[in-house]
Amino acid sequence: AQTVTQSQPEMSVQEAETVTLSCTYDTSESDYYLFWYKQPPSRQMILVIRQEAYKQQNATENRFSVNFQKAAKSFSLKISDSQLGDAAMYFCAYSTASGTYKYIFGTGTRLKVLA
């Protein structure tokens, strides 16, 4: 069975600095998708970034980028130039690309941004 692990329950970063959130996963499949979702205090889940496993190039979205290491089954999120609005829970998620189409979420990392 697939699993997703976020080993950092909480992280802090100074405004304008860079922070990296860690995520590891376990799967026997070769084709899958990985996601980072943000959940601010409003509780709304927002997609931050998506990575297709078949792509070697790391995904980037403005200040957000990932370090995808397929062999190591690692998928970390880097936030550059952190802003107060980045404070939120961040969830790493895995999705199969075929079959049952289920998503597996990590337990989340709470990011605090210090002014």
Q: Determine the interface stretch with another protein among 11-19, 68-76, 79-87, 104-112 (rule: CB under 8 A).
A: 104-112
The count of chain residues that interact with another protein, using the rule CB under 8 A, is: 22
55 binds another protein (CB under 8 A): no
Candidates 82, 50, 38; CA nearest to 63 is 82
Structure tokens, 48: 């931050």
Comparing CB distances to another protein, the nearer of 35 and 75 is: 35
Burial letters 83-107, b for 16+ CB under 10 A, else e: eeebbbbbbbbbebeeeeeeebebe
Where does this chain bind another protein (CB under 8 A)? 6, 9, 33, 35, 43-45, 47, 50, 91, 93, 95, 97, 100-108
